[in-house]
Amino acid sequence: MRSSTSHAWTGSELFVWGGSGPGCPGGGACGDGALLDPVAGTWRTVDGASAPTARDGAYTVCTDKEVFVWGGRADSCAGAPANRSPMGCPDGALFDPAANSWRPVAAAPATLTGREFGSAIWTGKWVIVWGGLTNDSAGNLLYLGDGARYDPALAVWLPVSTANAPSPRARQGAVWTGTQMIIWGGENYPGYLGDGAAYDPALDAWASISSVGAPRARNYAAATWTGHAMVVMGGHDDSDYFRDGGLFDPPSNTWGGQTVPAPGGFISSNEIAWTGTEVLTWSGSSSGNWGGLFDPLSKAWQQMAPPPAGFTNRVPEVLAWTGTEMIVWGGQSLGSDIIQFFDDGAVYDPP
C-alpha cells in the first residue's frame, strides 16, 4: 500500500519499487519492490542488494534491458546537502529483471541536482532526465528547468542544453516520438502551465511548440505517443479535474483540436496507454470507477467493461500496457477525508 512508486513494464513483467505510504516502514519511504507476471498471475521479489535507498517520486523508465531508477525523495540520501535531502537524491541504480540484480548509475554531474516529479524518457540510447522539484538552499521548493542524458551502456552523463528550453516545471507530460522528447504542461506553483517544447538529443537543441489550440493549462496531464501524434488527457488545476485533452502533430507544429471529454468519471489518473489503435484510460471518481477507449481518428469513446466485483473505486497507482492487455494496480480512494491505499489490481483485455 503505497504511492509515488517507481514502475515500468519490462516487456514481460510489471516492475513496482519504492514509493511511500502506510505500507512502508514508519509510513515513510519504501526501499523494496516486486515484479508481476500477468500471464502466471504471480509476483516475485526484487532483490534488495545494491538497490537505491528507500524513496518515492524517482525518475523511472525501462531501457532495452534494465529499469532506470534515479533521484526522488527520501528521508536521507547520499550526496545530497542536508537541507535538500527530502527532495534531492542525486543517485540511482539500474535493475536487470533477468538477473534480478542492481548496478549503480554513474555519479551525476554537479549541475544535475537531485530532484523528483520530472520526466524520464528512453530514446534507445539515452535516458533523458528533465525538470522536476528540489529544495533551494533555504529548504524552499525550487522548480527546475534543466536536465541531462545518461548512456547506460557507457555509464556516461551529458548535459541537456538549456537554450530555448521550457520554463522550470514539475509534473508535466512527456513523450518520445522516435527523434524528439516533447514536454507539455505541468506546474510552477502557484501557476499551471499550458505550453511546451521539443528536445532533439542528436542536436542537443530545443524548439518551442505551438500553444494555439492547446488544452487548458494543467499539471499531472497524461501523455502518450501514437506513432503520429502526442495525445494529452486529464490532469487538473486548483479548480478542476479535466476530462478533456488535445492532439499535437509535431511535423506541422499544430494542435489538431481538443479530444472529446470522457463521458464518464473524471480522468484523474496521470497515466494513459496506446494500444496501436486506441488510447486506454481508467480511473475513479466519487461516483465510481470508469474506463474508456478513445479513438483519436474518430474522436469517439467506447466505455470499458466494469472491473471485477469487489475491485474498489480508486485512482490507480499504475496503469501499464503489456502489448495485449492493460494492468491496473494499487491506488488511492476518493470521496473521503481518510485516504485508503490499495495493493491489489486487475487486468483488462480490450475487445
For 260, the grid coordinates are 472529446
pLDDT at 126: 98
Measured CA to CA, the distance from residue 229 to residue 206 in angstroms comes to 18
pLDDT at 43: 98
**Mean pLDDT in residue range 207-234:** 95
Counts of helices then strands in the chain (DSSP H, E): 0, 29
Tell me the domains of the chain and their CATH numbers: 1-123+151-159 (2.120.10.80), 283-351 (no CATH)
pLDDT at 84: 41
Residue 202 is classified by DSSP as: T
pLDDT over threshold 80, residue 284: no
pLDDT at 83: 43
pLDDT at 307: 86
pLDDT over threshold 50, residue 7: yes
Give residue-wise pLDDT tens across range 199-220: 999 999 999 999 999 999 999 9
**Mean pLDDT in residue range 234-245:** 86
Give residue-wise pLDDT tens across range 103-134: 999 999 999 999 999 999 999 999 999 999 99
Least-confidence region, from 74-78, 211-215, 240-244: 74-78
Least-confidence region, from 79-83, 160-164, 292-296: 79-83
User: Of the candidates 269, 265, 260, which has an alpha carbon nearest to the alpha carbon of residue 295?
Assistant: 260
333 pLDDT tier (thresholds 50, 70, 90): confident
Measured CA to CA, the distance from residue 3 to residue 317 in angstroms comes to 6
